Structure 1
Amino acid sequence: MDKLFFSAVMATFLSTSILHAQTKNEVDKPLVQNPPITMEALVGNRGVMYQLIVNKKFQSIPKLGFFSVTNATAAWEKEMTPDIMTQSHLTYSLFKGLDVTSGMQYTPVYGFRPVAGLIYSYNSKDLLLIVNPKVDLADDLATETMAIVEYKPKIKEKLNFYSRVQGLYGFVPDSGIHNRSYLMLRAGLSYREFTFGAASNFDWYGPMKHNENNFGIFVSALLF
């Protein structure tokens, strides 16, 4: 009986010690510092444009993450060119700043396609840089490269100047034919998690590079 009681006490002591150690390790382990989700809307002469950017890492598996960019334009007038692009990827960190990606992309022209690529990112107090080359894995494969540069120096406490250049160029490697490209320009002010200002979108579609532009104002918000 005494041995059984002693064994039970020791088992309880060991279980408590292991649980305490695991809890302490979880507490001591620093949380992954994820960038916020960015939601943006532009109202311009062509129509309303919406963009959502998500770039997150899993807390329990910090090398593994999720990256997604969605943008769409609802034109004031009916037009022949459908304008929606969305991509979603799982990401894996090779080393700081460089991830390998795999996922899917949707456009009205190509539909859903599996894609793979790389993401390079650099983030400092005033500057953000993201470069995302990718290739779809279909038989008639196409390739795209997207780049984002943000510059946001502080004006005073909680108020920053904001500027962004975002571009994309896509083509079919076998033929060199252009399929989609755009250039987005933003300039304004950021207060806390909100940003607003002037906006310009320049879009080109298909082999003939049909051009549609949108000039107006934008508002964006960061979701932490």
Structure 2
Amino acid sequence: MFTTAIFSQQQTDTLVLALQENGKTTSVKEHKKSSISLETMVGDNKVNYLSILNSRLGNNNKLGYFSVITVATPYDYENGLNELVLSSALTYKLINKLFATAGLQYHFLKGIVPYAGFQFLTANPKWLFVVSPSIAFAENTSLQNIGIVEFKPRITNSLMLYTRVQGIFNINLDNTLHERSLLYLRTGLSFQKTSLGFGFNIDFYGPNKTRQKNFGIFIRHLL
């Protein structure tokens, strides 16, 4: 359930943009209800792409919807398979900083998978912290935990440092074996709604934790 982590980041981007758009303080209620995030990383072994639609439903800001597309395309089949994941889910704010999530995901290996979980996030214009456990109700039920930390100090009125550490650990509950985990690092600069810099991905697959690395340049933009 990699997309839960992506949603955490996108939802918080919307919140942070509401706080600091154009260098001014803006209330969250004044910020647009929908946003789109696009990120591409061109690495030495593969190309990673993601797009996210995040939207609040209604006027009470408790109910939300998000849709995510993630693609990973290796240059050589020795570096893995083409990966495609499509997700759609509803979110509901339970209490301050705590959300419930539930939806469906199409996974290139597992097919259509329903999932549900919780998400805790806290953010300000400089820091972001997210923890999000979830359960995927596929043929083999799996448990996943996600953690994200971002540090984005302002350098000038229009320029910020952008850094992100993102980790995922997924375990099969039927046999307690490792399914999928990763560590993604980003460092670069942000100008208004666009970030550009270097990325480093380490992906682990299967019970033997087969490792794949990818180092490259990423560009990220919020619409």
- Structure 1 counterpart of 2:12: none
- SS of the counterpart of 1:155? coil
The question of whether the paired residues in 2 share the 8 Å contact of 1:153 and 1:162 is answered with yes
Q: Please tell me whether residue 38 in structure 1 is matched to residue 37 in structure 2.
A: yes
Structure 1 residues 95, 61: CA separation in 2 closer, same or farther (over 3 Å shift)? same
For 2:205, the aligned partner's letter is: Y
Structure 1 residues 178, 68: CA separation in 2 closer, same or farther (over 3 Å shift)? farther
Aligned-partner Cα distance in 2 for 1:201–1:58: 34
Query: Which sections of structure 2, spanning at least 5 residues, go unmatched?
Result: 1-28
Instruction: Tell me by how many angstroms 1:200 deviates.
Output: 0.4
Q: Please tell me whether residue 134 in structure 1 is matched to residue 129 in structure 2.
A: no
For 1:197, the aligned partner's letter is: G
- Structure 2 counterpart of 1:51: 50
Aligned-partner Cα distance in 1 for 2:114–2:215: 33
For 1:158, the aligned partner's letter is: S
The question of whether the paired residues in 1 share the 8 Å contact of 2:74 and 2:81 is answered with no
**TM-score, with normalisation over the residues of structure 2?**
0.79
1:40-80 Cα deviation digits (max 9, x unpaired): 10011112111224443214352110134432211111345
Aligned-partner Cα distance in 1 for 2:104–2:119: 15
Q: Aligned residues: percent identity?
A: 36
Structure with bigger gyration radius? 1
The question of whether the paired residues in 1 share the 8 Å contact of 2:106 and 2:112 is answered with yes
Aligned-partner Cα distance in 2 for 1:151–1:69: 23
Deviates more, 1:183-192 or 1:59-68: 59-68
- Structure 1 counterpart of 2:97: 97
Supply the RMSD in Å over aligned alpha carbons: 2.0
For 1:45, the aligned partner's letter is: D
Deviates more, 1:154-163 or 1:174-183: 174-183
Aligned-partner Cα distance in 2 for 1:211–1:222: 31
Instruction: Tell me by how many angstroms 1:83 deviates.
Output: 2.4
Q: How many corresponding residue pairs?
A: 194
**TM-score, with normalisation over the residues of structure 1?**
0.79
